Structures are given as C-alpha cells and as structure tokens.
Amino acid sequence: MNQNLVSIVFDAARLTAIDAALASLEAELEDLVALPVDQRRDLFKMGDKSEVFCRSTLTVLSQNPKIVNEGLGLPEALADMAALDALRPRLARLRLLLDRGTDTETALGADIFATVLEGYGLLRVSGKSHGLEREFRALGRSRFPYKGRKNDSPEEGAEPA
C-alpha cells in the first residue's frame, strides 16, 4: 500500500526565492523582541477581556488629556496599540504558514516511513534469496536495537545498583 500524502520538490531556484523572502522578513521584522522566559512569565498578559478594558481605557484617557500626566506614557501606549493592531494579522498569516510547513514536514516523514517499513518487510521476505540478509539484519539492528532480556526481579541477596 503506497502512501503519498504530499509531493513537493524544492529546486535551487525555489529555495533561493524562499531564502530571499525569509531574509527580507527577518530584516523587516528586526525590531521584534525575544523575551527571556522569566520576564515573559512575569509580564501582564492582555487577553481578550483585558484587551477590551485596555482599548476603552486608552480611549477615555486620550479624550481627557487634562487628567493624564506626562509620566503615564499614554503616547507610547497608543503607539503600542497601533503596532499590535498592525502586527497581529501578519503574525496570524505566519502562524498559518508555519502550521502548514509543520504538517508538510510530518506528511513527508510519514510518506518516507511508510515506504521504508513496507520495503523493510520486502527485505525480510525476499532478502535472503537476493543475498541481502546481512543488510536486513544491520537495518533491523539500527532501527530495532536488541536490548536483551530484562530481569524483572533482582536475584536474592543481590544489592540494587
């Protein structure tokens, strides 16, 4: 049974174009930050409900500048909200592309593995008659290493290691 979930070819021109597009994205997105895990964990997270609260509060504050002191950082928060609104749809597209790439990687591996397992079975059945017994055993040892019998209970009087 032949499995072929995906057929895809990456010639040199296509890989060059992909690499150029990735380099362009990396250059255009060089301002993105990479937060350390502990810092990311300690930050306030703006979820769906919090976002409504944040947007409403920013609107009220910007409509009432007399109550806002300069140290609050309202202009920066408004700029951050605009940047977030601009970045989100692009990140969504990148996530979809990454998901498709990951699924394609999985499908390619599954196609390869299905073919190899079927071929390995052919080697087992007809390999001896074609002088491939040594190769069959070597392949089997690399994929299914023999670990020997496990001793379920230690011998009497033996100390555990």
Q: Between residues 38 and 147, which one has the greater pLDDT?
A: 38
The 8-class DSSP code of residue 130 comes to G
Q: Mean pLDDT, the chain, as a whole number?
A: 89
**Res 130: pLDDT:** 74
Q: How far apart are CA 74 and CA 71, in angstroms?
A: 8
- What is the value of pTM for the model shown? 0.75
d(CA 32, CA 86): 13
Per-residue confidence (pLDDT) for residue 148, from 0 to 100 = 59
The token pair at 127 is 């390999």
Domain-located, residue 52:
yes
Q: Which domain holds residue 56?
A: 46-143
Is the residue at 7 inside a domain? no
- The 10s digit of each residue's pLDDT in 27-39 is 999 999 999 999 9
- Has residue 148 been placed in a domain? no
Task: Classify residue 12: in a domain, yes or no.
Answer: no
User: Does residue 62 belong to any structural domain of this protein?
Assistant: yes
**123: pLDDT strictly greater than 90:** no
Question: How many domains does the chain contain in total?
Answer: 1
Structure tokens at 113: 């593995």
